[in-house]
Chains A and B, each alone.
Chain A
Amino acid sequence: MKITEEEVRKVAKLGNLTLTGDEVVRLSHDMDEILTHIDKLNELDTTGVEPMAQVLYDAEETATLREDRECTPLGSDAAVANAPLSGNGYYKVPLVIER
């Protein structure tokens, strides 16, 4: 076993996911199968290989960072328009700190 149900519950907490008991059982099976397949990568010697963090690293020059200039942002009304709960241009969430 690559991953136990207890580990699945721990990862779910890290990923902020509430899972049902059935989902935990199912996911430990699925993740085990996938992680076992992923182990295959250890067969490859990657000593001295640079990790590919930039996709076009071996293509021609594509650096396209924009100039740092002022621009008008979306505005808070538009930004919070999709929030389930908002007020005064802010997002509202359940109580975090009691005064």
Chain B
Amino acid sequence: MDIASLTIDQIKTGLTARKFSASELAIEALRFAESENPKTNAMLLFSRERALAAAKKVDDQISAGEPLGALAGVPIAVKDVISTKGIRTTCGSKLLEKYVPPYDATAVIRLEQAGGVIVGKANCDEFAMGSSNENSAYGPVRNPVALDRVPGGSSGGSAASVAQGTSVVSLGSDTGGSIRQPASFCGVVGVTPTYGRVSRYGLVAFASSLDHIGPFARNVRDAAILLGAIAGHDVHDATSASAPVPDYARLLDGNVKGMKIGLPKEYFKGLASETGDLIAKGVDVLKKLGCEVREVTLPTTDYAIACYYIICTAEASSNLARYDGVRYTTRSESSPTLIDMYRNTRGEGFGAECKRRIMLGTYVLSAGYYDAYYLKAQKVRALIARDFAQAFTEVDAIIAPVSPFPAFRLGEKLNDPMEMYLSDIYTITGDLAGIPCMSVPCGTTAAGLPVGMQILTKHFDESGMFRLAEAFEKAGGVS
């Protein structure tokens, strides 16, 4: 068994044919992960005890002849902003160095109910804020494809782990591109489902109206299976959607002939680069599969960065207010008064990017500025959502780049936050509109760096998105 390239279907076949047991697989997966992880720092912690307990449950089911769940025996990494009961969850922050959640996130419960085996927690940018995974208090993650480069962020560990083979699939979170961008940088599949499709209960809040949990996988089918296992309504999250969850994997029939594809002209102007060339080749593959390609327009695109960095910082400043030294493990020692304790705990605990966003969010929400900033941004957000709704009256799916460039070198963009923010342009729009979107591998640059192609569809049409992505993958993608 080649642990680094296993798929969910191979695991299922191996288990049912008794080629290996879930426990043997878990032990081997942990051994491999522990020996390989120092190369990338993708994982912050291995949850051996919990993994072996979950694997044993699967083996007991097999012995008893019971039906197996969709993720039976599958080694899974979970981003460290997703709560795991009894297992340290740091959010990549010094502030939560010792935080052990008293409950599991709903997504975590569901993947274990489906037989999934959580092998550990994946590194990430502090509180999921960043595009390079360099903002983690526990050191940066290296891209397994090119170790001198970043894996993307903020779910850099989740993407790198799947690419490296230290997990078969993983969970990440996406607020402005934090799943799709690292997926594209590491050459794996990354999915941001419709807002509300997966419960956010237990996902440590960054920007609540934009936060999503979603899967990483080495192929489209595995991503579809994982999403199917975690999606669906949850009483613990009032924004989780009650719409029924289709059997995504069963709907992968390869039939995309006649599917109407839109290329937003605003996304392709000025994309004269290797990335642009590879996406163009990807579009050619879709044409050969029988898709009808046309240009569409998303006129509000130019305003998306400004809109996003108001909404996400405003919501972050509110959500991060709770880390005040009272409830969450870390308190500044040298503070005689309550207010000093709050201020010093936060000043000492948060990293530079979190401080920048708390400050910006506090500023835009402060007295006299609400209408000019937050309210204005919410109105612009409505226009961005309207652009997509209009485009989806003409086409079934939109194809776009994920990032303007492939993985960059560690340290290369660290000192220019504005440049880092601007590079989110192709991914934040999907989050603002709340629509499903994903990155699927679309070839590599001359230097061997992966590039992702983004597919976006209308609310709750994950099925259409997966079908297109899988047909593209089966056709060989871009070589």
Give me the interface of A with B, judged by CB distance under 8 Å: 3, 8, 11-20, 23, 26-27, 30-31, 33-35, 37-44, 46, 49-53, 55-66, 74, 78-85, 91, 93-96
Contact = CB atoms under 8 A, between A and B. Distances in A.
Contacts of A61: 242
Contact of A59 (B347, B417, B418, B459): B459
A15 B317 contact: yes
Given A56-B196, A83-B327, A85-B331, A37 B305 contact: yes
Contacts of B383: 44, 46, 49
7 contacts: A51-B378, A55-B209, A63-B242, A74-B103, A82-B102, A85-B331, A93-B326
Nearest to A2: B363
B10 interface: no
- List the 6 closest A-B pairs by CB distance, nearest first: A18-B347, A51-B378, A15-B362, A52-B382, A46-B379, A84-B331
Contacts of B180: none
Given A15-B358, A49-B383, A94-B338, A74 B102 contact: yes
Contact of B347 (A17, A44, A57, A82): A17
Interface string B372-412: 01011111111101100100000000000000000000000
Given A41-B376, A62-B241, A52 B327 contact: no
B6 interface: no
Which of B303, B379, B386, B460 has the most A CB atoms < 10 Å from its CB?
B379
A95 B342 CA distance: 13
Contact of B196 (A27, A34, A55): A55
B193 to A, nearest CB: 12
B362 A14 contact: yes
Which of B99, B325, B339 has the most A CB atoms < 10 Å from its CB?
B325
A38 B459 contact: no
Contacts of B239: 55-56, 64
Contacts of A59: 194, 241, 434, 459-460
A94 B337 contact: yes
A66 B235 contact: yes
Given A17-B359, A44-B383, A56-B239, 18 more contacts: A17-B347, A18-B340, A18-B343, A18-B347, A30-B418, A31-B359, A34-B417, A34-B421, A40-B302, A53-B378, A56-B196, A64-B242, A78-B102, A83-B329, A84-B331, A91-B327, A94-B341, A95-B337
A64 B242 CA distance: 6
B360 to A, nearest CB: 6
Contacts of B417: 30, 33-34
B321 interface: yes
B327 A66 contact: no
Interface of B: 98-100, 102-103, 194-196, 209, 233, 235, 238-243, 300, 302-303, 305-307, 309-310, 317, 321, 324-331, 335-344, 346-348, 350, 352, 355-356, 358-363, 366, 373, 375-383, 385-386, 389, 417-418, 421, 434, 459-460
A38 B306 contact: yes
B385 A58 contact: yes
Contact of B339 (A16, A65, A66, A74): A16
A52 B196 contact: no
A49 to B, nearest CB: 4
A75 B470 CA distance: 46
B301 to A, nearest CB: 12
B330 A52 contact: no
A64 B378 contact: no
Nearest to A49: B379
A30 B309 CA distance: 13
Given A16-B321, A16-B343, A83-B327, A50 B241 contact: no
B100 A82 contact: yes
Contacts of A20: 347
Given A16-B346, A46-B380, A59-B459, A84 B355 contact: no
A96 B359 contact: no
A41 B326 contact: no
A64 B240 contact: yes
B378 A11 contact: no
B421 A94 contact: no
Contact of B459 (A31, A39, A56): A56
